[in-house]
């Protein structure tokens, strides 16, 4: 299922069996999936899976979406008596031509509006996963060989794309009685849950912000408790400007003396204390994994929800980097007041853009080090997969690459670059939190620019070079967002400034979330991935050295 397909889910008209045939059919499964997009009700899919008297099986259904736009379609999928391989398929989407799929020898033809297209490279058998149907995922899972186990490849036809692809299906550990699965497509992934009868219970497509739950079946995934050797407590404290922030402190249970502290900071955009993007279906939990590892190693770790995310108050959309740094400073000063925490041994560890916030917070904390009630100098800074290139360069390179991939000409790319550079220049020269701009239609509107202006003004390597605290820079060599050569810019700046205590390391086999990659881009849609143990070990061991001084 593509992101575009998920956003355009078609309504499906339930195919009603003809009179007199009901007794000849065996109902294998039927039900309704309630669909949400962005955590809001968006529609339903009603489906029916039967075995005809001939032995052939038919999956038919209706899906209706009311958001983001009204979509209606129906489908009928015929498969083998025992296999899920497609034999024929038809779908009607309101306002569009009827689309049909049928076998001709070993070829598969897609027909719509009088045109016929053969699916190139079709292996002779495969599963239909329509962009406008979720119940098809149950058939996809039935192609998985449970005796063989492991990760398995399944050929899939997406009719709306006019072609096929190979997806990889992987079973995942489950904390419930349901079975959990991950389906990895080339650029995204889908999470699935089934019951003991193999019936589809839940679907989650993080890239589309879409989830669907089977009506009449309860679903809950309780959060596992921390290990017995770790003490966990929920806390609230005033952040920058007095905004109330909520977080969790993890520390070794029964430790003696005062433990060093670590403040964990998430990447760009609002995130919860576990490192997951707020109000999304992405569940990376990489900061939670790091917090647990550091607590086991003897550290008191505070991870908190960004302002406006999770249980924290405030409005992230009106926050600049200076506000986020003020929140981090407040977190360090709060942690320093807790019993059992050494206020003179508190470090910041930030992932992605959180590393830049950590550097800014170290400066802010040093400026307030002598303020009561405690003396809290910054003890160390850890940068995890932190960007080093100028922000304008990052933005332009990504946008231009996307335009080029869509076939933009050199002239069009040049015009776009010039326009974007003018807009970024206007933001750089602004002084207030907001500026007034004109959109493409000439309408004036207000744009919040405080964050962008502060981000554009930052030179990450220079910011690191002027930091007076010890610095550890870690990145994975499989990171496609922050390539290794970008990370080495920090090393050049730190060496050039003769920074007295810094380490820069590229960790083998880890991606941007500092986990071992399995499926590439689709990994971002998976959950339950483990933080690379070498990452947690490198952070804990380095902190043990620099915080012992």
Domain C-terminal end among 427, 456, 485: 456
pLDDT in tens, 380-435: 999 999 999 999 999 899 899 999 988 999 999 999 999 888 888 889 988 889 88
SS3 485: helix
Say yes or no: 315 and 362 in one domain. Answer: yes
Say yes or no: 315 and 441 in one domain. Answer: no
Say yes or no: 465 and 451 in one domain. Answer: no
Burial of 522 (0-12, 13-18, 19+ CB in 10 A): buried
pLDDT value at residue 251:
95
- Residue 223 falls inside a structural domain: no
- Residue 332 falls inside a structural domain: yes
CATH number assigned to the domain comprising residue 353: 3.40.50.1820
- Residue 222 falls inside a structural domain: no
- Residue 300 falls inside a structural domain: yes
Nearest to 515 by CA among 503, 497, 527, 502: 527
Say yes or no: 33 and 93 in one domain. Answer: yes
Say yes or no: 143 and 194 in one domain. Answer: yes
Burial of 189 (0-12, 13-18, 19+ CB in 10 A): buried
User: How far is residue 119's CA from residue 134's CA, in Å, rounded to a whole number?
Assistant: 22
Q: What is the pTM of this model?
A: 0.89
Say yes or no: 335 and 251 in one domain. Answer: yes
Q: Which residues pair with 445 in a beta bridge?
A: 437
Q: Is the pLDDT of residue 440 over 70?
A: no
Say yes or no: 485 and 443 in one domain. Answer: no
Nearest to 176 by CA among 232, 230, 227, 217: 217
Say yes or no: 495 and 418 in one domain. Answer: no
User: How many domains does one find in the chain?
Assistant: 3
- Residue 478 falls inside a structural domain: yes
Match 């009506």 to its residue by tokens.
Answer: 215
Say yes or no: 436 and 479 in one domain. Answer: no
Q: Is the pLDDT of residue 344 over 70?
A: yes
* Residue numbers of the domain that contains 178: 3-214
- In Å, what is the CA distance from 337 to each residue of 147, 239, 497? 55, 14, 34
Say yes or no: 385 and 395 in one domain. Answer: no
- 530-537 mean pLDDT: 96
pLDDT value at residue 7:
39
CA 336 to chain centre: 32
Say yes or no: 402 and 339 in one domain. Answer: no
Say yes or no: 141 and 253 in one domain. Answer: no
Q: Is the pLDDT of residue 444 over 90?
A: no
- Residue 57 falls inside a structural domain: yes
């Amino acid at each position: 299922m593509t992101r575009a397909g998920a956003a355009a889910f078609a309504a499906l008209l339930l195919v009603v069996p003809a009179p007199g045939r009901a007794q000849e059919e065996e109902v294998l499964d039927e039900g309704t999936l309630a669909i949400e997009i962005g955590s809001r009700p968006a529609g339903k899919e009603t489906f029916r899976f039967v075995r005809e008297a001939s032995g052939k099986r038919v999956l038919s259904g209706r899906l209706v979406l009311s958001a983001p736009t009204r979509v209606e379609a129906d489908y009928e999928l015929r498969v083998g008596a025992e296999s899920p391989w497609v034999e024929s398929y038809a779908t009607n989407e309101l306002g569009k031509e009827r689309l049909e799929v049928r076998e001709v020898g070993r070829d598969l033809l897609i027909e719509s509006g009088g045109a016929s297209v053969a699916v190139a490279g079709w292996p002779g058998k495969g599963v239909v996963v329509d962009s406008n149907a979720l119940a098809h995922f149950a058939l996809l899972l039935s192609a998985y060989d449970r005796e063989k186990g492991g990760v398995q490849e399944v050929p899939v036809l997406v009719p709306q794309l006019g072609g096929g692809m190979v997806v990889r299906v992987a079973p995942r550990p489950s904390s419930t009685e349901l079975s959990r699965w991950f389906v990895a497509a080339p650029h995204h992934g889908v999470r699935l849950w089934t019951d003991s009868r193999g019936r589809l219970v839940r679907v989650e497509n993080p890239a589309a912000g879409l989830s669907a739950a089977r009506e009449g079946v309860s679903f809950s995934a309780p959060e596992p408790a921390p290990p017995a050797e770790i003490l966990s407590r929920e806390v609230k404290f005033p952040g920058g400007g007095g905004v109330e922030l909520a977080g969790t402190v993890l520390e070794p249970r029964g430790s003696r003396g005062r433990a060093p502290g670590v403040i964990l900071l998430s990447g760009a955009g609002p995130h919860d204390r576990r490192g997951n993007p707020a109000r999304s279906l992405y569940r990376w939990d990489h900061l939670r994994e790091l917090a647990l590892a550091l607590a086991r190693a003897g550290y008191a770790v505070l991870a908190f929800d960004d302002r406006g995310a999770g249980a924290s108050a405030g409005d992230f959309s009106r926050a600049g980097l200076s506000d986020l740094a003020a929140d981090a400073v407040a977190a360090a000063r709060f942690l320093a007041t807790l019993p059992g925490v050494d206020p003179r041994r508190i470090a910041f560890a930030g992932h992605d853009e959180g590393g830049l916030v950590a550097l800014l917070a170290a400066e802010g904390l040093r400026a307030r080090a002598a303020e009561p009630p405690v003396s809290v100098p910054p003890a160390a800074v850890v940068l995890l997969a932190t960007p080093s290139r100028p922000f304008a360069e990052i933005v332009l390179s990504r946008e231009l690459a996307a335009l080029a991939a869509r076939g933009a000409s050199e002239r069009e790319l040049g015009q776009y670059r010039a326009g974007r550079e003018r807009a970024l220049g206007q933001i750089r020269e602004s002084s207030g939190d907001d500026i007034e701009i004109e959109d493409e239609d000439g309408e004036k509107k207000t744009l919040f620019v405080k964050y962008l202006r502060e981000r554009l003004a930052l030179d990450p390597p220079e910011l690191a070079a002027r930091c007076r605290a010890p610095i550890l820079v870690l990145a994975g060599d499989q990171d496609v967002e922050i390539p290794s050569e970008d990370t080495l810019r920090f090393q050049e700046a730190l060496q050039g400034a003769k920074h007295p205590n810094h380490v820069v390391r590229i960790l083998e086999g880890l991606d941007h979330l500092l986990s071992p990659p399995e499926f590439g881009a689709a990994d971002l849609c998976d959950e339950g991935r483990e933080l690379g143990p070498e990452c947690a070990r490198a952070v804990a061991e380095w902190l043990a050295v620099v915080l012992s001084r």
